[in-house]
Structure 1
Amino acid sequence: MISAFAAHAAPKRVVSMNLCTDQIAMMLAAPGQLISVSDLAQDPRMSPMSSQAAAFPINYGRAEEIYLLRPDLVLAGEFASGPTVAMLRRLGLRVEVLPPAETIEAIRHEIKHVGALMGREVAARALLDQFDQELSRVTASRTRGRAALYYANGITSGGNTLAGTILRHAGFDNVADELGIRRTGTLPMELLVMSQPDYLITGAKWPGQSRSEAILDHPALSRIAPNTSHVTDRDWICGTPYILRAIEGLNP
């Protein structure tokens, strides 16, 4: 349901403190309306809009800094710091918390929702029209085989996730679904090898960040679909129109 706040006058000073709301807000904001985005928005490893985000002051999701920006709307993600959101609300700020969008319908809803909150309904409709047209273009018309997602610590994503949505529209059956993993869960390497996927998609590695990524260098992985491997990137992180690039990137 759209918040009752959406019926009020369009906010003039909007702050986003979440990587995913950053992107939707940047796509929809009127000139000068968005006054700050999260620090992750400017990280090219995480954000497909890092160059656009460079034009905005950043915030680190701290209540003190956001309050001093004097926003009349704060956009936060569902997994934002609870104490920060609570403090901002106690200080009288309007904070809207958005859940992660992991399906096409959820992405469409989020665009409409943020458009209404920001008083940018016309811009939201235009973005939705463009999104729907491009989605029709990149969605596979046939099944292209079985794919497995495999990340650090042996984690995989099933059909009820954003990555699963991307796979489905690219025309792949998800090996995780065959194994009863519908959301995010652990996939033992033995099961991965025995499943013999046609396509292997691994997580992007961040050298020096975590030993959990060492599993992605296991020699067994190089023998699984060696000519059809792919690495997830910044287009896979958030449920925004940028998933269209992720879908298209899986096309031959």
Structure 2
Amino acid sequence: MRILRAITIGLALVAGPLGAQTPPQRVAPEGAPARVVSMNLCTDQFALMLAAPDQLVSVSYISADPVTSPLADLAARYPLNYGSAEEIYLMRPDLVLAGPWTDPAALAMLRRLGLTVEQVDGISQLSDIPERLRRYGELLGRQAEAKTLIRQFETDLDALSAPPDGPRAILYFPNGYSLGEGTLSHELLTRAGFRNIATEITPSATGQIALELLVMAAPDLIIRDRPYPGASRAEELMHHPALAALIAAGAGHESGPDWACGTPRVIAALRALVEMREAMEGGS
């Protein structure tokens, strides 16, 4: 307790002068948080979509990475944080947004220091998205804006569906990981009219599918992550000649950042899949 009190006093002494240099602009609706910090890629995306001007103080550094973030250009305009309790406390937020897997030690310290921390569940299916938009709208005092996004999302989603009996497809990621039933990626794939053959191949206990099994299954479409710059052992498999030959014989597609986090931006991913299926069926 003495250590915590010392940390609190020390941080407050540092935060005081910083706060005097940058007084908060109270632009959020009355009763809503005026200084919001998001420390998770997915909470960043929803906050960037819904926050009022100057309401959002900082987002996580990963949201400025265009490989993983669908709103990287917008996120890069904000101060970026690296998820430490110390740096976030010094920003003097009255609301901290975190995901279910955010560092529990950092969150515990922020709560002990008296900050309001909200952990918001992730998205596992398309039907979760309207509810999450409502939740973020409530947290930010932006209910009207959330309702607008919900209406647009539901309208767009209703226009994009097909029976899942089209070309055979699979999601294949570094280290041979794939995704099957019960995941948002599977739902996007099947809603676009593809058959996800990950449900036909028996993966290992870790969810990996051996490249040999993938080659024998010969899917019509292989969906991969966009590769990061540089090299990693996890991604070596994605450059294997057998995989390249398989893609050349059928089709390949990069999932891209629109697939991330289950925001309304998945509509763009779904639309791209529908267009790809129509092109494949039209050419068959």
Shift of 1:176: 1.2
Per-residue CA distance 1:39-77 (angstroms, 9 max, x = gap): 111111111111111221111111011111111111101
Q: Give the deviation of 1:36 after TM superposition.
A: 0.9
| Alignment-derived partner of residue 262 in structure 2 | 239
Identical counterparts, % of pairs: 46
Write out per-residue CA displacement over residues 118-137 of structure 1, whole angstroms, 9 at most, x where no aligned residue.
Answer: 11111111000111111122
TM-score by length of 2: 0.81
Q: Number of aligned pairs?
A: 245
Q: Which residue of 2 aligns with 1:24?
A: 46
Residue in 2 that maps onto 1:199: 221
- How many Å apart are 1:224 and its aligned residue? 2.4
- Distance 1:142-1:80 versus aligned 2 partners, 3 A rule: closer
Deviations 1:73-98 (Å, cap 9, x if unpaired)? 11101111110011111111111112
Q: 1:147 corresponds to which residue?
A: 169
2:123 alignment partner in structure 1: 101
Q: What is aligned with 1:12?
A: 34
Give distance in 2, aligned partners of 1:38 and 1:140.
36
User: For structure 1, which runs of at least 5 residues remain unmatched after alignment?
Assistant: 1-7
Aligned to 1:229: 252
Amino acid at match of 2:99: G
Q: Deviations over 1:161-184 (max 9, x none)?
A: 222122122211211122356x97
RMSD: 2.0
Please point out which of 233, 237, 244 is paired with 1:211.
233
The answer to whether the 8 Å contact 1:15/1:37 transfers is yes
TM-superposed deviation, 1:205: 1.6
* Contact 1:156–1:184 (CA under 8 A) maintained in structure 2: no
Structure 1 residue 38 displacement after superposition: 0.8
Provide runs of 4+ in structure 1 moved above 4 Å: none
Task: Tell which structure's C-alpha radius of gyration is larger.
Answer: 2
Amino acid at match of 1:106: D
Which residue identity is paired with 1:93? Answer: L
Give the aligned partner of residue 248 of structure 1: 271
Cα distance in structure 1, aligned partners of 2:149 and 2:168 = 32
Is 1:161–1:184's contact at 8 Å kept on the other side of the alignment? no
Amino acid at match of 1:154: G
Considering fraction of residues, name the structure with more helix. Answer: 2
CA distance in 2, matches of 1:159, 1:138: 19
For structure 2, list consecutive stretches of 5 or more residues without a partner in the other structure. Answer: 1-29, 277-284
8 Å Cα contact 1:157-1:184 kept in structure 2: no
SS at 2:151 equivalent: helix
